[in-house]
């Protein structure tokens, strides 16, 4: 079988560069073209010296990338993908968007949280939300994938089995999350400036982050009832990793054994979700540079609270790895192809 030709638009950003890194371990795909506006004409290894003699591909234009590729990954700031998706759709090329332009089903919600509109509604109807553990059958039927954000992967994966079984109340869920700084992208900012970030830990966009409606949309799809959650992200002074600690009220009569059985059954065959043994808690150390999502659960029987803690690498399962997992589904490959990296032991 011929290798899939992959193009990355926005390859010089953190998410785009991470797709390029992961593709070099993919036996069935090859990086055909990359693009950048600021670095056009320069090699990716000039932007990221770590890639020297690995990826010396030169940044071209967006149009070159579309022309040379079977599948185009867009790793662009929000709002720039709709036009590119239209171009790919017209040329019958697969399109995987790492931004948020196609994630929300409701245009109203999109307007509220992103300030934009759906420029071509038919494209939005074709797009499928790319969280494989929940929607892999739908992903197989599309050519436009809306790759989820990082928090919006970690939180649902922590809660899915308990919600599907109806073991927890959907009302009153709290997601307390911490993210490494690569989540904010490559562009420097005051809050990610080393002296102001290092040795600190603080919340941001408290109960007002744009991932809130995206998480609610996924949880609503699981239960068939409108979800409403409290989501508080924190900026953790590390490069990579998301830890999502989620709290929910246990329904009467539900025991830890019932919950553990539900999680084991649900995630047993998932290549990337590792359900941890009783008493073990997910740690961002153990998933670094991989597409794994570690999930651990606890019951506080004194207060009737269910606690689910998940850990992902925001750049891999939270972005580039999940995007490649979606590409594998679109092209009929085994989902784990090229994605079985081993995390460093320490
Ligand atoms: N970082 C993360 O953990 C995650 C990021 N994402 C999403 O992935 C996308 C990329 O994020 P990230 O890599 O972090 O961001 P970066 O800021 O690191 O990179 C953005 C990329 O877009 C290009 N770009 C910026 N402005 C324009 C423009 N006007 N026209 C064309 N290209 C432009 C930039 O490069 P150049 O100037 O060279 O063209 C760069 O390649 C975003 O939508 C983000 O939300 C999703 C999940 C997780
Ligand atoms: C630490 C940090 O700033 N994180 C980013 C989320 C990154 C992410 O998942 O991205 P999307 O933009 O694709 O939704 C934030 O809070 O906006």
Residue 119 vs residues 74, 93, 95: alpha-carbon distances, Å: 17, 19, 16
Residue 297's pLDDT is: 98
Per-residue pLDDT band for 275 (boundaries 50, 70, 90) equals: very high
Q: Distance between CA 264 and CA 66 in Å, rounded?
A: 42
Q: Where are the beta strands (DSSP E) in 229-313?
A: 230-235, 242-249, 273-275, 293-300, 305-312
Note the pLDDT tens digit of each residue in 60-108.
Answer: 999 999 999 999 999 999 999 999 999 999 999 999 999 999 999 999 9
- Verify whether ligand 1 is closer than 6 Å to residue 172 (CB atom): no
DSSP strand pairing (230-235 vs 273-275) = unpaired
Please say whether the beta carbons of 155 and 310 come within 8 A.
yes
- Verify whether ligand 1 is closer than 6 Å to residue 210 (CB atom): no
DSSP strand pairing (4-9 vs 71-74) = parallel
CA 10 / ligand 1 centre spacing (Å): 6
This complex has an ipTM of 0.96
Q: What is the DSSP code string of 18-73?
A: HHHHHHTT-TTEEEEEEE-STTTTSBHHHHSGGGTTT--PBEE-HHHHHHH-SEEE
Alpha helices in 224-345 (DSSP H): 256-267, 321-330
Q: How far apart are the first and last CA of the chain?
A: 38
CA 268 / ligand 2 centre spacing (Å): 29
Note the pLDDT tens digit of each residue in 127-156.
Answer: 999 999 999 999 999 999 999 999 999 999
Q: Distance between CA 192 and CA 343 in Å, rounded?
A: 25
Question: Which residue minimizes the CA distance to atom 19 of ligand 1?
Answer: 13
Q: Distance between CA 102 and CA 89 in Å, rounded?
A: 14
Q: What angle do CA 69, 8, 102 make, to 5 degrees?
A: 100
Residue 150 annotated among the catalytic residues of the structure: yes
Ligand 2 atom nearest the C-alpha of 205 is: 16
Q: Which residue, 212, 211, 192, 210, is CA-closest to 202?
A: 192
DSSP state of 307: E
Domains (range + CATH), the chain: 4-147+317-330 (3.40.50.720), 151-313 (3.30.360.10)
CA 188 / ligand 1 centre spacing (Å): 12
Q: Is the pLDDT of residue 238 over 90?
A: yes
Q: Which ligand minimizes its atom distance to the CA of 18?
A: 1
The residues, ordered by sequence, that sit 6+ positions from 332 with a Cβ below 8 Å of its Cβ are: none
Ligand 2 atom nearest the C-alpha of 151 is: 9
pTM of the predicted model, to two decimals?
A: 0.97
* Residue among 20, 55, 88, 150 flagged as catalytic: 150
Provide mean pLDDT across the span 116-126.
Answer: 96
Residue 17's pLDDT is: 98
Residue 198: how many CB atoms within 10 A of its CB?
9
Q: Which residue, 77, 75, 59, is CA-closest to 9?
A: 75
Provide mean pLDDT across the span 293-320.
Answer: 98
Ligand 1 atom nearest the C-alpha of 78 is: 43
Question: Which residue minimizes the CA distance to atom 13 of ligand 2?
Answer: 149
What rounded mean pLDDT belongs to the chain?
A: 97
Residue 1's pLDDT is: 79
DSSP strand pairing (174-179 vs 128-129) = unpaired
Ligand 2 pocket: which residues have CB below 6 Å? 99-100, 149-150, 179, 183-184, 211, 233, 235, 318
CA 262 / ligand 2 centre spacing (Å): 30
Note the pLDDT tens digit of each residue in 6-26.
Answer: 999 999 999 999 999 999 999
Residue 28's pLDDT is: 98
């Amino acid at each position: 079988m011929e290798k899939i030709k992959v193009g990355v638009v926005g390859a010089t950003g953190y998410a785009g560069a991470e797709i390029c890194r992961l593709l070099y371990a993919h036996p069935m795909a090859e990086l055909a073209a990359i693009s950048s506006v600021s670095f056009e004409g320069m090699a990716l290894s000039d932007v990221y010296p770590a890639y020297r003699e690995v990826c010396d591909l030169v940044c071209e234009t967006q149009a070159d990338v579309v022309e040379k590729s079977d599948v185009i990954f867009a790793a662009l700031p929000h709002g720039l993908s709709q036009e590119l998706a239209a171009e790919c759709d017209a040329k019958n090329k697969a399109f995987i968007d790492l931004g948020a332009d196609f994630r929300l089903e409701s245009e109203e919600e999109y307007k509220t949280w992103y300030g934009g509109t759906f420029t071509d509604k038919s494209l939005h109807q074709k797009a499928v939300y790319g969280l494989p553990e929940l929607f892999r059958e739908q992903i197989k039927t599309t050519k436009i994938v809306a790759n989820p954000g990082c928090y919006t992967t970690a939180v649902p994966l922590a809660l899915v089995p308990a919600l599907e079984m109806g073991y927890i109340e959907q009302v009153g869920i709290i997601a307390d999350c911490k993210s490494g700084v690569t989540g904010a992208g490559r562009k420097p900012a005051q809050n990610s400036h080393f002296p102001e970030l290092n040795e600190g830990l603080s919340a941001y966009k408290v109960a007002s982050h744009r991932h809130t409606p995206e998480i609610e949309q996924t949880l609503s799809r699981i239960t068939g009832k409108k979800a409403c959650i409290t989501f508080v992200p924190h900026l953790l002074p590390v490069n990579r990793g998301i830890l999502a600690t989620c709290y929910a009220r246990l329904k009467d009569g539900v025991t830890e054994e019932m919950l553990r059985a539900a999680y084991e059954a649900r995630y047993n065959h998932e290549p990337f979700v590792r359900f941890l043994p009783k008493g073990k808690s997910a740690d961002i150390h153990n998933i670094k540079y991989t597409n794994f999502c570690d999930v651990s659960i606890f019951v506080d029987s004194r207060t009737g609270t269910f606690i689910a803690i998940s850990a992902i690498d925001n750049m891999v399962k939270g972005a580039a790895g999940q995007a490649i997992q979606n590409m594998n589904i679109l092209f009929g490959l085994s989902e784990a192809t090229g994605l079985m990296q081993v995390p460093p032991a320490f």
